[in-house]
Amino acid sequence: MTTALANDATQALKPLTGRIVALLAGLAAIGMLSTNIILPAFPMIGEDLGVSARELGLTLSSFFITFALGQLIVGPLADRYGRQKLVLGGLLVFVVGTVIGGLATHLDVLIAGRVVQALGVCAASVLSRAIARDLFEGETLARALSLTMIATAAAPGFSPLAGSLLSATLGWRAIFILVGLAAVALALFYIRGLGETHPADRRAPLSVMSVVRAYRRLALDKRFILPAVSMSLLISGLFASFAAAPAILMKGIGLTSLQTGLYFAATVFVVFAAGMAAPRLAHRHGPRIITILGIACAMAGGGLLLAGPADPSLGRYALSMVTFLWGMGLANPLGTAITMGPFGKEAGMASALLGFISMGAAALTTWLASVLPFAPVTALGGIQAVTCLIALVLFVLRGSLAK
């Protein structure tokens, strides 16, 4: 069975408008925005709450773990009860967690707030892909996911800069106010601009065993699991770069906190350009070919770091990251569309499992970037090169199934 993406004659179920793109982008980005926006405020939070930076790391790990596991629950619930209830309910839960975190006076309360945040925001992130699959097929689906991916990449690119500016001018609690207001605005925009996209006649029955069986079917379906793991490994290289960049850019190259934030913001434009180019190149040459070329390009970026000096100049490091980000920006939206294409009826669960695998891969590579006994540049280059190589092999194997 070939995917809908591979069929050039496939027509979109609905036209792709700027309003829909903005909604999908917002749903995808708010989770990434809330993930690391508090990083620049760690010194201020630690001083205020009387804890160390290492202890504050629990606010990140607890968020990631909850985010990853929560997606597995949200997916089947959305396939059974529809997208709107889960999106709006999730954003409400996120706002509650934001209030808890923003008012925290002890570390335990701050961690609890982050856990509640993650429980809510995982719904918006996982359902952005499911909603896109509800509304679109073929090349339009790939274009929608490309534009959504730009927002997903922009959020972690700009959020450290935003967090730094907010904490320096208004205090660290202003960060929680910002993300809370963003969630409220997104909920209102969703109600007015989109609403339910998963009709009742397409909803799946819900029981524990049916959910387990459905996840098992997806995990054993090579059309899903091969590209899903491939794209998860690819995106994990981006998270590894976030983990390693402070040591490389600040300790190694000597950038200030503000300069590092500006560097992250500048990288967004690379992903933006690649995301805009991906659907056009796929239309001309085919999504599978462009995805393979994108993964290979990302692998070359990691190779540049691995083969270079342990203390590169800013120019060399930037060149390697531009190469990686360009390849990732081309491959990820097309590969995600290929992954999701055959699973329209169970798009929520497919998106949830994809998100879970992606977060798991990201957790692994960020941990490796911190513990490998090599120079940070060497460790990052090795992680990106190896994960992309495995991703390339898996994706090529997926392509052979469609022949």
Say which CATH number the domain at 63 has: 1.20.1250.20
Instruction: Let me know if residue 321 belongs to a domain.
Output: yes
Nearest partner of 38 among 169, 160, 182, judged by Cα: 160
Q: How long a stretch of residues is the chain? A: 403
Residue 82 φ/ψ region, left for φ over 0, alpha for ψ in the -120 to 50 degree band, beta for the rest = left
Q: What is the pLDDT of residues 266-300, one digit of tens each?
A: 887 888 888 888 888 988 999 999 999 999 999 99
Instruction: Let me know if residue 10 belongs to a domain.
Output: no
Distance CA 213, CA 245 (A): 40
DSSP string, 293-315: HHHHHHHHHHHHHHHS-SS--HH
Nearest partner of 29 among 137, 118, 180, 150, judged by Cα: 150
As for how many domains the chain has, the answer is 1
Instruction: Let me know if residue 11 belongs to a domain.
Output: no
Instruction: Let me know if residue 228 belongs to a domain.
Output: yes
Instruction: Let me know if residue 53 belongs to a domain.
Output: yes
Given a contact cutoff of 8 angstroms between Cβ atoms, the answer to whether 278 and 146 are in contact is: yes
Instruction: Let me know if residue 202 belongs to a domain.
Output: yes
pLDDT of residue 2: 42
Instruction: Let me know if residue 301 belongs to a domain.
Output: yes
pLDDT of residue 202: 67
**pLDDT band at 5; cut points 50, 70, 90:** very low
**pLDDT band at 40; cut points 50, 70, 90:** confident
Distance CA 91, CA 123 (A): 8
Nearest partner of 131 among 196, 52, 192, judged by Cα: 196
Nearest partner of 317 among 305, 306, 307, judged by Cα: 305
Max avg pLDDT among 44-48, 64-68, 125-129, 321-325: 321-325
pLDDT of residue 12: 42
- In the DSSP assignment, the letter for residue 202 is G
Question: 264 or 11: whose pLDDT is higher?
Answer: 264
Q: What is the pLDDT of residues 232-279, one digit of tens each?
A: 999 889 888 877 776 788 778 887 767 777 887 788 788 888 888 888
pLDDT of residue 176: 92
Query: Would you call 20 exposed, middle or buried from its count of C-beta atoms within 10 A (0-12, 13-18, 19+)?
Result: buried
State the pTM of this model: 0.74
Q: What is the pLDDT of residues 215-228, one digit of tens each?
A: 899 999 999 999 99
Q: What is the pLDDT of residues 366-377, one digit of tens each?
A: 778 877 888 889
Segments forming the whole domain that contains residue 35: 17-401
Nearest partner of 200 among 345, 82, 74, judged by Cα: 82
Given a contact cutoff of 8 angstroms between Cβ atoms, the answer to whether 355 and 71 are in contact is: yes
Q: What is the mean pLDDT of residues 6-29?
A: 66
In 170-255, which residue ranges form alpha helices assigned H by DSSP?
A: 173-193, 208-220, 222-245
- Which of 62-66, 135-139, 297-301, 363-367 has the least mean pLDDT? 135-139
Given a contact cutoff of 8 angstroms between Cβ atoms, the answer to whether 71 and 193 are in contact is: no
Instruction: Let me know if residue 4 belongs to a domain.
Output: no
Please enumerate in sequence order all residues whose Cβ is within 8 A of that of 214, keeping only pairs 6 or more positions apart, or say none.
76, 204, 346, 349
Distance CA 153, CA 146 (A): 11
Distance CA 390, CA 51 (A): 40
